[in-house]
Chain A
Amino acid sequence: MTHAIRFTPPSGEIAPAWAGELKAMMDAYQQAGGDPKVLELPQVATLVISANQVLVAHEIPGVHFRAESLPHGVRARIWVEPHTRLAQPVHLCFGLLPAEGIQEIVADYEIGDYAQVRFLAHCSFPNAVKVEHRMQARIQVGRQASLTYAEEHFHGPYGGTVVVPQAEVRVEDGGHFITTFALTRGRVGDLRLDYHVRVGAGGVAELVTKAYGKSEDTIHVREVVVLDGPGARGLTRTRIAVQDRAQSRVDTVTEGNAPGARGHMDCTEIVRGQAQASNNPLVIVRHDQAQVTHEAAIGTVNRKELETLMARGLSEDEAVDLIIRGLMR
């Protein structure tokens, strides 16, 4: 089934059979940190996908969606015309409401040359007991274009979610790609994030990943930034907190392959209880005028930070909680 929807408002014209589903998705969207009222604004481009159904695909000038249902998900093409500049972010809402199931999103993003857009993606699996969510994205950021992509997840309290976000990103000359992935509320479950970004001349890639693992959660983050063009810049900033028996592993790779390429990897992992964390940065430089650096801090909360907050009257637990919440913001 192929949807070629020009305008579908979130209320009014949706098929009655899906109205209840949409309402439930909006509740889940709110739990994931989104504001459902924003999705009702006509000037906001919106795509809402529940399981393998596109509930809303609201286009605005310069922003287009095409989508088709797959047995366990949706294949979507999202493109932004060259020179498009949006005042409001494009809102994406993905989710699966039942306790069990699979959702696979195969997405193709194309940001035209000189376009400037922000995407806000909320992924909700509020009742997940045994849910698998796979996102396979191919993202093309055009010449001198700018894409800011913020993705926030909410997985509910049961820890039964397997999330596999994978992205192949190409940033053309002078393009900017800034992405934030946050899974800091509810349980993580099993996260396997794998991003690969290739950056052209004068382009910028900034990848920020935040996750808070509890109980038996497992977090595996793999980010590869290849700075191919002269003057390309890359930054990975990873912030993980694990407690109880949760485990995290962060593998970051940055390659500096051209003159003036600058890369930096910055990883902080806070470990509490019997949790475990590791960070494996790999630096590859193939040009004598490129430079890649890395820094990592893995372990307990910094004592001085703790005592600074305790000197304001917070207990040690309150101070640790505030530091972690700050790191996850």
Chain B
Amino acid sequence: MQPYLLEIKDLYLAREGHVLLNNVNLALKPGEIHVLLGLNGSGKSTLAYTIMGCSGYTPDRGQILFEGRDITGLSLSERARLGITLAWQEPARFEGIPVGKYISLGMKESSRQRVLEALEAVALPPAQYAYRAVDKTLSGGERKRIELAAVYAMRPRLAILDEPDSGIDTLSLTDIERLIRRMADEGSTVLLITHRDELAEIGDSASLMCLGSIAYVGNAEETRRFYREHCQRHPMPPEPMTLGLESKENQP
């Protein structure tokens, strides 16, 4: 059995002279909640999109291994079929697609009960939401909760949650934390991306991202302390790091 569900080895991605991911190494054990902390612009979402295989996020070098298998060359859909999924920080909206249908999309076997359970898990009354469209009529917070419900319903092997707490009021943060714990209890490995260190408490392990690199790895409390002491006192420069000679064009 592989000790890690996900292994990222020396991942490097540059675009137009800017290094976005600089030799990132990260390993997630099966069933754990790993918190990836970092300030805005540190590269957390870029890493999420690269792991997911989004368009424009093909690494220049490095490897992404899933259960020991190199998935760096797989398409987004192929990765999703292996059980990897992503809850976007700002999820897309869809005219005419009902919430219930949207939540059931990633489920291996469509189950109305699971859809209702997922809506209840994010504190959205199914009777009010199941038949509404996933469109502009939903508030940002409602849309985020539906995104989390869809990921939960899918029972993914790896759930990447990109800033699940942003745009959601403090009261419902408890719901979100409970949901993340439920995902892990049901066997999902969770990569929780956030810039709010309070949320790191839920993690089994954590790492800190800074300027496109992993700057610290440890348990959740240690990483949180390091983040508070170092990163929040020294905010990053407004522009991404530029390493002239290491631009994409000059990479092997």
Contacts and interface: CB of A to CB of B under 8 A. Distances in A.
Interface of A: 239, 268, 302-305, 307-316, 322-323, 325-329
A311 B86 contact: yes
Nearest to B80: A313
**A contact patch SS:** helix
A308 B77 contact: no
Nearest to B94: A326
Contacts of B105: 309, 312-314, 322
21 contacts: A303-B55, A304-B88, A304-B92, A305-B93, A305-B94, A307-B52, A307-B76, A308-B92, A310-B77, A311-B76, A311-B106, A312-B80, A312-B85, A312-B154, A313-B154, A314-B77, A326-B94, A326-B95, A326-B96, A326-B133, A327-B95
A308 B95 contact: no
**B contact patch SS:** loop
Contacts of A329: 95-97, 133
A326 B133 CA distance: 9
Interface string B75-100: 11100110001101001111111000
Contacts of B88: 304, 308
B148 to A, nearest CB: 13
Contact of B80 (A305, A310, A322, A323): A310
B86 A305 contact: no
Given A312-B150, A316-B77, A322-B97, A307 B55 contact: yes
Contacts of A302: 92
A314 B150 CA distance: 14
A311 B96 contact: no
Interface residues of B, number: 23
B138 interface: no
B54 interface: yes
B55 A239 contact: no
A310 B95 contact: no
B62 to A, nearest CB: 21
Contacts of A239: 95
Contacts of A307: 52, 54-55, 76
Interface string B4-29: 00000000000000000000000000
Shortest Cβ-Cβ A-B pairs, 3 listed: A326-B96, A329-B96, A312-B106
A329 B98 CA distance: 10
**Which of A308, A325, A327 neighbours the largest number of chain B CB atoms within 10 Å of its CB?**
A308
B105 to A, nearest CB: 4
Given A303-B55, A311-B76, A325 B86 contact: no
Contacts of A312: 80, 85, 105-106, 150, 154
Interface in B48-67: 52, 54-55
Contacts of A314: 77, 80, 105
Nearest to B108: A313
Interface string B122-135: 00000000000100
Given A314-B105, A326-B97, A308 B80 contact: no
